[in-house]
A and B are shown apart, each in its own frame.
Chain A
């Protein structure tokens, strides 16, 4: 195969590969990211750029700018097309659109490069090669090691920042909540305690109405990240017209209300 078309062949293979991966619903996150990111950010723009500029008009940096810019631009405009179509903006419709865009651009690029090669005289033919094929990278081992070190340092910086951001401030939260379930035959309340992060402890939970204790949980042990939930039927135990209150006390401070919620049983939610 002529080196002139090698890049287009690669592009034309990668796009359908991403299409197949999505259509067959392969649940491999890394593979999906490896093929999906180029499908959105590089391949459509590369194919369009190749179709628009089949000769060596564009230098390498220009090609990078237009490849990325046209990929983003065509994705955005493609989003409007998908919105207009009955399928909408979903994974399948996206990969089909982007694959067709890439293949369409590649076919035009193939044709234009082929025609250019035909029309060029043998003496000038080598000049028609895109500059990227001619430019050596010229990277020595030392340079490569320095670039590699830079990448490692930046990756380390991101890992450090992510680790610290996940730990600070600590996500230690205890939530108390109560919801009326009016859909049941008899009115019920759902009562719950949610722990986030490392928050834990032993709690006393009281459900009362107008001073009368309807139900009590004297020693609820909540572990970090635990969700405790119960349902209480009200009709049998209801003793007044006031709100039903749930009060949560910490074991170390039995007289101090730690969390409090209330509900008027008559109110619809």
Chain B
């Protein structure tokens, strides 16, 4: 073993390039290289003022595109992509040019990150319209009304058990008098700013290069959830900011001692406390990453007889805090996450066993295929990653293999191919998509090394960086294509069972009527869309399989009210039923009308019959209280023995 270690050291001496020896000690290397930039242009604004105007024009085009989509204009979609490319490609290309100052690089990634946030904000600029946002809004609303935490939320029972986002949003609402929507938009916007800045600083310290940090941060914006999913009013959007703040604090503390070292530890612990109370998956992934970092440190120190500091105690603390929160506060999280993880494992095992994939790429739940160009661009992102990854890993080996954190990132990047395989399976797709925000952190570092050291010039040379403008554009657009369905990216007109596309004035008005005329917290059953509207705008206690274990689909899809339906109504103590007749007009775009299991059991080939939906009209003692054309509300309290 000792011989092996000596061989390793000999290889190091022979193969690590003189320039890279600086990187072998990443912290000193950081100082030197950043200082080198600082000497020339650290304080200059460079092209940032002009490029910020370009980015703003991209945002304006996005606003016009979204407005056009509301009228179903055919030019809306091309304009949307044009706006995104104008927002990202020139700024990303500038980051690849030599001579970008640190100030300029930071400014560029702020414009890109916040511009991408506007891409989602302009989609729904006056109210929440995304499914997950409604779930968290209900928790925030209850918190604002009651002044207490841990209230019940039947739409998403785990949401009140991770109330970090809602606490921050309602704190603003309480102090300023702003609405939950405005407060939520501000909180998520601030979290986005912290995320991109902390990510940049994290990479900058590891790589010791402004350009690598800038490119890596820009590439991170190409992860499938960056533009829309993680810009929602949902717990992950805030938790990611804490994750990066913790990693940055732990990295920064390594180059200081004494009370400053302790201060960084306190920042990490405070961030960890907030993170654990904000989002389950992000806090688990943080613990996993810290554990990997710790293990790599132990292995590195053992192998080289070095004394690199590692995040051992904070990993143990993170694990202990997560375990305590899970067991003491949010034990239902296990039941919430387990089916997704088990489904992913099962799908992968089936794939390995040669049973084939149960998912067709680029096809929505309703069977609508993706346009060819989108397919090509969608495949372009993973293709470019796969192309660059070996070069990035090679550059890591040549220049950064004496950095423990770089080792951690390189090993973490290897998980990308696994997530790519998971995308081929029905059960694994969601886990793969959800994990992309974490996998991309190490991945983009490796990709940035490939670009910086293999492709991009050291001196002023415009050709190659400009050739990379399409690379950045394809990478970014591929993320959006992979992360969000084509029909949901823009506010097109109403569609049946299509989440954000199904949020429209008639449904909103019906829900508000319920809140005003029926009073809050009546037990109500409805389709997926009206469940979110009535659970939020209507302030009703919606019946869901998650918390009530009653089959809502069975009640609505049964041709008549038989004993099983009557029993379900009684078990759920359902007082009101909301029937949206529009579900009889088209197949659901999201694959189901009422509950997600429908798409696995009921192969819809035609919409639900209006007669099936109208069955409540013919029952004695069932009152039809409300009619707004498409939406009807029935009082079925007599069937449920509910007064």
Shortest Cβ gap from A94 to chain B (Å): 5
Task: Decide: B252 and A62 in contact? CB cutoff 8 A.
Answer: yes
Interface membership of chain A positions 64-105, coded 1 if the CB is closer than 8 angstroms to chain B and 0 otherwise? 111011101111111110010001111100110010000000
User: Which chain A residues (110-159) contact chain B, with CB distance < 8 Å?
Assistant: 135-136, 138-139, 142-143, 146-147, 149-151, 153-154, 156-158
User: Which chain B residues (31-73) contact chain A, with CB distance < 8 Å?
Assistant: 43-45, 49-50, 52-53, 55-57, 59-60, 62-64, 66-67, 70-71
CA separation between A138 and B248, bound complex, in Å?
27
In the complex, the chain A residue whose C-beta lies closest to that of B196 is: A65
In the complex, the chain B residue whose C-beta lies closest to that of A163 is: B67
Task: Decide: A268 and B643 in contact? CB cutoff 8 A.
Answer: yes
Q: A61-B106, A165-B124, A174-B629 are in contact. Are A41 and B505 (CB under 8 A)?
A: no
Q: A40-B168, A95-B175, A196-B509 are in contact. Are A70 and B267 (CB under 8 A)?
A: yes
CA separation between A176 and B249, bound complex, in Å?
59
Cβ contacts under 8 Å, B148 to chain A: 83, 88-89
Of B270-278, B439-447, B603-611, the segment with at least 4 beta carbons within 8 Å of chain A is: B270-278
Cβ contacts under 8 Å, B267 to chain A: 52, 66, 69-70
The answer to whether B517 has its CB under 8 Å from any CB of chain A is yes
CA separation between A109 and B516, bound complex, in Å?
50
Q: A70-B267, A76-B167, A153-B59 are in contact. Are A37 and B149 (CB under 8 A)?
A: no
Of A5-13, A28-36, A200-208, A211-219, the segment with at least 4 beta carbons within 8 Å of chain B is: A28-36
Interface membership of chain B positions 604-643, coded 1 if the CB is closer than 8 angstroms to chain A and 0 otherwise? 0000000000000100111111111100000101100001
The answer to whether A57 has its CB under 8 Å from any CB of chain B is yes
The answer to whether A223 has its CB under 8 Å from any CB of chain B is no
Cβ contacts under 8 Å, B617 to chain A: 262
Identify A70's interface contact among B70, B270, B509, CB under 8 A: B270
Cβ contacts under 8 Å, B56 to chain A: 149-151, 153-154, 157
The answer to whether B176 has its CB under 8 Å from any CB of chain A is yes
CA separation between A89 and B53, bound complex, in Å?
41
Of B183-191, B368-376, B551-559, the segment with at least 4 beta carbons within 8 Å of chain A is: B183-191
Shortest Cβ gap from B149 to chain A (Å): 4
CA separation between A190 and B533, bound complex, in Å?
24
Task: Decide: A77 and B505 in contact? CB cutoff 8 A.
Answer: no
Of B238-246, B333-341, B404-412, the segment with at least 4 beta carbons within 8 Å of chain A is: B238-246
For this complex, into which size category does the number of interface residues on chain B fall? 35 or more
Shortest Cβ gap from B477 to chain A (Å): 20
Cβ contacts under 8 Å, A143 to chain B: 45, 49
Grouping DSSP codes into helix (H, G, I), strand (E, B) and loop, the B interface class, with mixed when no group exceeds half, is: helix
CA separation between A160 and B118, bound complex, in Å?
13
Cβ contacts under 8 Å, A52 to chain B: 263, 266-267
Shortest Cβ gap from A175 to chain B (Å): 4
Q: A77-B273, A79-B163 are in contact. Are A69 and B172 (CB under 8 A)?
A: no
Task: Decide: B71 and A168 in contact? CB cutoff 8 A.
Answer: yes
The answer to whether B254 has its CB under 8 Å from any CB of chain A is no
In the complex, the chain A residue whose C-beta lies closest to that of B129 is: A165
Shortest Cβ gap from B480 to chain A (Å): 18
Task: Decide: A29 and B271 in contact? CB cutoff 8 A.
Answer: no
Task: Decide: A177 and B513 in contact? CB cutoff 8 A.
Answer: yes
Cβ contacts under 8 Å, A61 to chain B: 106, 197, 200-201
Task: Decide: A196 and B505 in contact? CB cutoff 8 A.
Answer: yes
The answer to whether B491 has its CB under 8 Å from any CB of chain A is yes
Cβ contacts under 8 Å, A142 to chain B: 49
Task: Decide: B62 and A261 in contact? CB cutoff 8 A.
Answer: no
The answer to whether B547 has its CB under 8 Å from any CB of chain A is no
The answer to whether A173 has its CB under 8 Å from any CB of chain B is yes
Interface centre among A39, A69, A153, by most chain B C-beta atoms within 10 angstroms, is A69
Task: Decide: A261 and B624 in contact? CB cutoff 8 A.
Answer: yes
Cβ contacts under 8 Å, B356 to chain A: none
In the complex, the chain B residue whose C-beta lies closest to that of A229 is: B517
The answer to whether A264 has its CB under 8 Å from any CB of chain B is yes
Cβ contacts under 8 Å, B200 to chain A: 61
The answer to whether A226 has its CB under 8 Å from any CB of chain B is no
Q: A61-B201, A77-B270, A150-B56 are in contact. Are A264 and B63 (CB under 8 A)?
A: no
Shortest Cβ gap from B478 to chain A (Å): 24
Shortest Cβ gap from B479 to chain A (Å): 22
Identify B506's interface contact among A18, A98, A173, CB under 8 A: A173
In the complex, the chain B residue whose C-beta lies closest to that of A18 is: B175
CA separation between A55 and B510, bound complex, in Å?
58
Identify A165's interface contact among B60, B70, B628, CB under 8 A: B70
The answer to whether B193 has its CB under 8 Å from any CB of chain A is yes
User: Which chain B residues (160-191) contact chain A, with CB distance < 8 Å?
Assistant: 163-164, 167-168, 170-172, 174-178, 186-187, 190-191
Cβ contacts under 8 Å, A57 to chain B: 256, 260, 263
CA separation between A98 and B175, bound complex, in Å?
10
Identify A89's interface contact among B59, B147, B193, B491, CB under 8 A: B147
Cβ contacts under 8 Å, A76 to chain B: 163-164, 167-168, 273-274, 277-278
Task: Decide: B509 and A175 in contact? CB cutoff 8 A.
Answer: yes
Q: A62-B252, A73-B270, A150-B52 are in contact. Are A91 and B175 (CB under 8 A)?
A: yes
CA separation between A41 and B171, bound complex, in Å?
10
The answer to whether A239 has its CB under 8 Å from any CB of chain B is no
Cβ contacts under 8 Å, B59 to chain A: 153-154, 157
Task: Decide: B509 and A171 in contact? CB cutoff 8 A.
Answer: yes
The answer to whether A187 has its CB under 8 Å from any CB of chain B is no
CA separation between A52 and B363, bound complex, in Å?
52
CA separation between A139 and B56, bound complex, in Å?
19
Shortest Cβ gap from A55 to chain B (Å): 7
Can you name 18 A-B pairs with beta carbons within 8 Å? A18-B175, A29-B177, A37-B175, A61-B106, A61-B201, A75-B171, A79-B163, A89-B149, A138-B44, A143-B45, A149-B53, A150-B49, A161-B63, A161-B121, A161-B122, A165-B70, A267-B621, A267-B637
Q: 5 other contacts beyond A52-B263, A160-B64, A165-B124, with CB at 8 A cut-off? A: A150-B56, A157-B63, A177-B627, A180-B623, A267-B621
Closest 8 CB pairs of A and B: A88-B147, A79-B167, A171-B505, A36-B176, A146-B49, A157-B63, A73-B274, A153-B56
